[in-house]
Chain A
Amino acid sequence: MIMQALLTVRNLTKRFGAFTALDNLNMSLYPGEIYGLLGPNGAGKTTLLSTLFGLLLPDSGEIHLQDRRIEPGRPETARGLDGFVDTPSFFPHLSAIDNMRISARHRNHQLSENDILAQLERVGLKHAATRKVGGFSTGMKKRLGIARALMFPQTLLILDEPTSGLDPNGVREMRQLILDLKKEGISVLLSSHILTEVEQIADRVGIIDHGRMVREDRLQALTTTPNTYWFTVDAPTIAISILATNDHLAIDRQEGNDIQIRLSPRISPGEVNQLLMQNGVLVQGIRPEKSHLEDIFFRIIGVH
């Protein structure tokens, strides 16, 4: 069964004068997933998020949230989409709780003070509920931005660099919070520079460069190197001598008892296992070769 995308971006182009910030960009985000949006500075991530919210008007292309088209320049058509771009903004001379009340009012939601305090507690800001937001750090504003978004039912939460400005403990709490949101059925579009963060929580990843979506895939598929496996054996030297005569595979490297083998389409890992066993080599484990997201990222955008 083909799952219908929650958010679909088709051929989105945005130009600022002669500069093309988004160049026929396509992306799909599916219900219930955490989508990591990656890209170097100036790749077009913030432009894309701003366009999703209706802050920027695309030159061409379409954005659909479920079955509904988000009309350019008409933010009221983007209901169900929440979160923040850049640092979430608040009225600096008002308290956190007053800012939250204003948001509730904008969306015609009747929320009690306890409801608001509960959300602030969830992001670790209950103690600062009555403090003016002008005195908040960037990290606190990000937490408040998430608390604000969580006050209302939404289908897609957009978080732009949610962990920037947070201390290590805050980063861990934020990661857990995002995973909790996923459990609650909320889809999250997460833009981040911190690749290790994305690697820990994202289900799918989109890599943008020069305004184009250069790679979009499930994280697992992206980080798994096709046809390359690690074989853990009890006698690596013998194993290498056996395998060296086989034309359907290549030995890439050896690390202790582990041998990395690249297979041609003509041979399967099971057949290699059988071959070694027949020659008296005990295979203790087979695992596919996995790359770190960081390696993939740099390989794709061509920076070393």
Chain B
Amino acid sequence: MLRTEWQVFIANRRFLFLSLGPLLLAAISAFSYYAANSVGLTYIDGYIFIINTANLYTLLFLPFLGVAMGNYLIMAEFNWQTIRRPFVEHISRRRFIVAKAVVAAIALALLMVPYFLACTFLSNVFFGLNHILIEDRTISAVNGLLRATGAYAWSGFILYIFVVLGQIILLRVHNTIVAILGSLLPFYIFVAFGKQLPLAPIRTLFQLPERILQAGTLNGHLGQQVLIALITWGLIIAILLSIQVYLFSRQDIITS
């Protein structure tokens, strides 16, 4: 099932263009910051460039791309009427749901990795990646890159929760717009207010990117927070998938 999903949805020219498309955004950002630096409008180094462009992408573009891709994995099956096919071929509904969720994760990763690599490359070319100054501390370029990668990857983890939520909504309502809005709206609400939530594990989940970037040292305390966040994330995903399997097992599959 997973290989089929890969062959049908990922290993094609359409997805290649989609995943490489954000590179244009990285290039435009690099040129803009470089020009602003050149005329003295601003001063940013390579590290700040990576953080800013990654932020821009993960807050404005990636949520839409990720949720839309997660939805497309299911909606396309309704449009092609292939939604019936796996079940006629005796594939269980649980396998179908899990395959869709796993491919959504792969798609999200493939939408993130090229962009980040491009940002890193461009930051080195245009601004240089030497020692990095964070407030009153200096860290090495490798340390900085590790932090940026960790924070960026964690943003993807957070977003994935809402990608799965979008898939749940879509399978219930069969309406892409409702599903995208129904998952993006909570995403932005949680990103804005999640850090203030009274529930500590959930709060940690949303605080983690900042903590990774700002921690004095990558020490045991941060490690503990990463562990709490990972367990919380895993539980949320497991609960969402269980809900999805439960609901989908109790609904008719109708294409027209």
Contacts and interface: CB of A to CB of B under 8 A. Distances in A.
Given A91-B8, A105-B3, A54 B80 contact: no
A56 interface: yes
Residue with the greatest number of chain B CB neighbours at <10 A, chosen from A78, A98, A102: A102
A53 interface: yes
Contacts of A94: 7-8
A106 to B, nearest CB: 5
A78 B90 contact: yes
Contact of B91 (A57, A87, A106): A106
A102 B7 contact: yes
A256 interface: no
A73 interface: yes
Interface of B: 1, 3-4, 7-8, 12, 80-93, 249-256
A238 B1 CA distance: 76
A183 interface: no
A53 B81 CA distance: 15
> At the interface, is chain B mostly helix, strand, loop or mixed?
loop
B90 A102 contact: no
B92 A74 contact: yes
Contact of A73 (B8, B85, B89, B249): B249
Given A74-B92, A91-B82, A53 B87 contact: yes
Contacts of B255: 86
Contacts of B86: 75, 106
B253 A56 contact: yes
A75 B87 CA distance: 5
Interface of A: 50, 53-57, 73-76, 78-79, 82-87, 89-94, 98, 102-103, 105-107
Nearest to A53: B88
Contacts of B1: 106
Contact of B4 (A75, A76, A105): A105
B91 A76 contact: yes
Contact of B87 (A54, A82, A83, A93): A54
10 contacts: A53-B88, A73-B93, A75-B89, A86-B255, A87-B81, A91-B80, A94-B8, A102-B4, A102-B7, A106-B89
Given A53-B87, A75-B91, A92 B252 contact: no
A77 to B, nearest CB: 8
Given A56-B254, A86-B81, 14 more contacts: A53-B84, A54-B87, A75-B87, A75-B89, A79-B90, A84-B88, A89-B84, A90-B80, A91-B82, A93-B12, A94-B7, A103-B89, A105-B3, A106-B91
A92 B3 CA distance: 17
Contact of B252 (A56, A90, A98): A56
Contacts of B254: 55-56
Residue with the greatest number of chain B CB neighbours at <10 A, chosen from A57, A75, A78, A87: A75
A85 B81 contact: no
Contacts of B91: 75-76, 106
Residue with the greatest number of chain A CB neighbours at <10 A, chosen from B1, B88, B253: B88
B89 A57 contact: no
Given A73-B250, A94-B8, A106-B4, A55 B90 contact: no
Contacts of A87: 81
A262 B179 CA distance: 67
Contacts of A105: 3-4
